Structure 1
Amino acid sequence: MTERRKAPFDRMLTLVRALADSVEGLTLDEMAGVLGQQRRSAERARDTIALHFDLDEVEDGRKKRFRIRDSLRRHYVRPTATELAALQTEVQAAQKASSPRAQILENLLVKLRASFDSSEKHRLDPDFAELARLQRTLVGPGAVAMVAPETLAAVSEAIIAGRCLEFDYRRDGEEETVWRRVIPHGLLHGTVSYLVGAFPKGGFGLVTYRLDRMSDTKVSDIAGAAPETFDLDEWLAESFGMFREQAYKISLLILPEAAHRARSWRFHPRQELSELEDGSVRVSFASGGLLELANHLFTWAGDLAIEAPEELRDIMARQLAAAQTAIGSNAISASKNDV
């Protein structure tokens, strides 16, 4: 960019700094002097600056003075109406899903809005209200898992303090609880929230615990922190979902009529896509969690064929047979007779 083309930006930035540094404020004539231009140019610059900063207008006898309130840093770190509305949308979604993060996100939103003065609120509130009214994060069907606030607080405290976490755990289908002490390795939030932990003495790898099944949770006196080399994203990529098992080489053939969908779909973060001559697409990756993968593949019915492994085909066949109960025995019999 030539010096001549940069000059308007330099003048505008110089004026912004002058308006922020001035205690009494600048008149339009003084602003024109800073710009080295006519009064009309100063008026246009003032209007532009007012779109991005809180520009105070101060009466000084028969003249008006202008100044930028607060430090420039505050203007650049202050959230916009769009950002606040996006956070509000996530708060509402977390509340609908009974997420343990709902209260935390709501507290953050309240603190951010409380940091504004009356002038800022007056300027932002109309835009914030309209954006918050007309946008939502979709919350699909899933388990309703209520997590006690003190459980999430204890997990977070243990991670920060580098200590083990102790709790009573109710396993699936059981009424009695078992006591556990683990080294926290991460928190996973979704339809259901999980703690990823390892036993202090090792030997069992990483284990997941549903937060809604944990009780009497407290930070242990025993030190225990995840290794610096531990990568939660890498660990998650070892399986399709939450079920942990050995990795299989997965190969899925997407038929030509659904190839466009496959090109913009992510089955796995490490997947590889291959274009075939007939227009189909092959998706390959290594992963465990075959049951969760099979359940997902129902959404591709008619558009996909499982090439490997054989174990995935077997699970898919069992899930398909089990799914027939959803249409009732009479419907199944009628279907067989039609064949």
Structure 2
Amino acid sequence: MAKLDRLLALVHALSETPEGLTLDEMAVRLGVNRRTAERMRDIIARHFDLEELADDRRKRFLIRDSLRRVYTRPTAAEVAALQAEVDGRTLAGQAVRAEQLASLLAKVKGALDGREKRRLDPDLDALARLQRTMVTAGPIATVAPETVTVIQSAILAGRCVEFHYATEERPEPRWRRVIPYGLVHGPLTYLLGKMPGRDDQPVYFRLDRMTQAMISETLGCAPHDWDIDAWLAESFAVWRDEKHDVVLRVPSSSAARSRGWRFHRLQQIEELTDGGLCIRFTTGGMRELAEHLFTWGGELVIEGPDALVEVMRERIDAAATMLPGTNPRPILSQQPTTGAA
């Protein structure tokens, strides 16, 4: 480990010297020749902001900032990734999340000094210009920024949230008071809430359907043993219904693709003797699962449950009505339970 020991010693020496070190001084300190000291300097320059000073005809080198600053300074790739996320959220109409991330981005950039900005700007411009977060088809919903602020403040204060809530089936808003069990972000943003004093499961409330949100005087917070990740894993996506044991059989021709695909966060994969796969998981949300499996048409077979098979038949019938020459007709299907009853 002698080479590593010398390299670390040189890093500390360059960060502790106020006037800098020449290559000859580095070589003397480490007991190596000038060429070795030069190679070590080049390695350090790849990972640290090594400053070069002119001293007559000699060059001196030093690490200006503390070593802690070196490891907490963002890279151009990190700043560009955050910028792409801000732009993607903005284009997707997720204004609240975009504003929060934009505020974080401004703080990150504001913490850089002039020298750091000059160092980052060329790479940042190139990466930001040619890097995007894809905006896919989906719902467009406007959420008032103060709604998110109220919910987050209620979570921190350990209090309920009060608001008026409307649905597509009931457009007339009704007053609600719920214990905040969490915020779930995606194409739509949901408050996961539970009515106080009831044994019901938490339900979803779309933030874009809320008005007059305020922090309640009533105390209420999620239990300490509440696991939001475990709760979310009980359903395929947002819609919640009875949980079923799902079994999907993938032929060998599609096995390679399915190995790199996540059908469910708790899925189990079994290798079959014919080269295919058997994928198992337990979840609710059969309609959303069926609609997702449309993208796998011809590449897997639904072995069970019967509920999923039946929902898939309904969705196939509904999809057939979109073809030219057919008459659209209502298709009966289970209703999602994504909000308050």
TM-score clears 0.5? yes
Query: 1:155-205 deviations in whole A, cap 9, x for unaligned?
Result: 111222222111111112433111111111111111111111111212221
| Distance in structure 2 (CA, Å) of the matches to 1:283 and 1:61 | 71
Note if 1:11 corresponds to 2:3.
no
Note if 1:217 corresponds to 2:235.
no
Alpha-carbon shift at residue 330 of structure 1 (Å): 4.9
| Distance in structure 1 (CA, Å) of the matches to 2:220 and 2:253 | 52
Q: 1:336 aligns to what?
A: none
Note if 1:202 corresponds to 2:198.
yes
Q: 2:334 aligns to what?
A: none
1:266 alignment partner, one of 247, 259, 262: 262
Note if 1:89 corresponds to 2:81.
no
Give the direction of change, closer, same or farther, for the CA distance of 1:45–1:176 in structure 2 (3 Å limit): same
Give the direction of change, closer, same or farther, for the CA distance of 1:58–1:275 in structure 2 (3 Å limit): closer
| Distance in structure 1 (CA, Å) of the matches to 2:159 and 2:325 | 54
Instruction: Give the SS at the match of 2:181.
Output: strand
Amino acid in the other structure paired with 2:16: D
Instruction: Give the SS at the match of 1:328.
Output: coil
Instruction: Please state which structure has a larger fraction of its residues in helix.
Output: 1
2:112 alignment partner, one of 112, 116, 127: 116
1:189 alignment partner, one of 185, 210, 235: 185
| Distance in structure 2 (CA, Å) of the matches to 1:284 and 1:43 | 58
Q: 2:69 aligns to what?
A: 74
Q: 2:337 aligns to what?
A: none
Instruction: Give the SS at the match of 1:326.
Output: coil
| Distance in structure 1 (CA, Å) of the matches to 2:293 and 2:33 | 68
Q: 2:19 aligns to what?
A: 24
Is 1:19–1:26's contact at 8 Å kept on the other side of the alignment? yes
Note if 1:39 corresponds to 2:23.
no
Alpha-carbon shift at residue 297 of structure 1 (Å): 1.3
| Distance in structure 2 (CA, Å) of the matches to 1:280 and 1:66 | 60
Amino acid in the other structure paired with 1:56: E
| Distance in structure 1 (CA, Å) of the matches to 2:232 and 2:88 | 24
Instruction: Give the SS at the match of 2:161.
Output: strand
| Structure 2 residues not aligned, in runs of 5+ | 329-341
Query: 1:48-75 deviations in whole A, cap 9, x for unaligned?
Result: 3222222223344554432211211000
Is 2:321–2:327's contact at 8 Å kept on the other side of the alignment? no
Give the direction of change, closer, same or farther, for the CA distance of 1:46–1:275 in structure 2 (3 Å limit): closer
Query: 1:186-234 deviations in whole A, cap 9, x for unaligned?
Result: 1111111111111121222101011111121122222221111111110
| Distance in structure 2 (CA, Å) of the matches to 1:21 and 1:158 | 47
Q: 2:275 aligns to what?
A: 279
Is 1:237–1:270's contact at 8 Å kept on the other side of the alignment? yes
| Distance in structure 2 (CA, Å) of the matches to 1:174 and 1:261 | 43
Instruction: Give the SS at the match of 2:218.
Output: strand
| Distance in structure 2 (CA, Å) of the matches to 1:261 and 1:290 | 22
Alpha-carbon shift at residue 296 of structure 1 (Å): 0.9
1:105 alignment partner, one of 101, 105, 121: 101
Is 1:93–1:137's contact at 8 Å kept on the other side of the alignment? yes
Q: 1:233 aligns to what?
A: 229
| Distance in structure 1 (CA, Å) of the matches to 2:61 and 2:295 | 60
Q: 1:142 aligns to what?
A: 138
Is 2:182–2:192's contact at 8 Å kept on the other side of the alignment? yes
Q: 1:312 aligns to what?
A: 308
Is 1:11–1:34's contact at 8 Å kept on the other side of the alignment? no
| Distance in structure 2 (CA, Å) of the matches to 1:273 and 1:72 | 46
Instruction: Give the SS at the match of 2:322.
Output: helix
Give the direction of change, closer, same or farther, for the CA distance of 1:172–1:26 in structure 2 (3 Å limit): same
| Distance in structure 2 (CA, Å) of the matches to 1:51 and 1:268 | 41
Is 2:88–2:135's contact at 8 Å kept on the other side of the alignment? yes
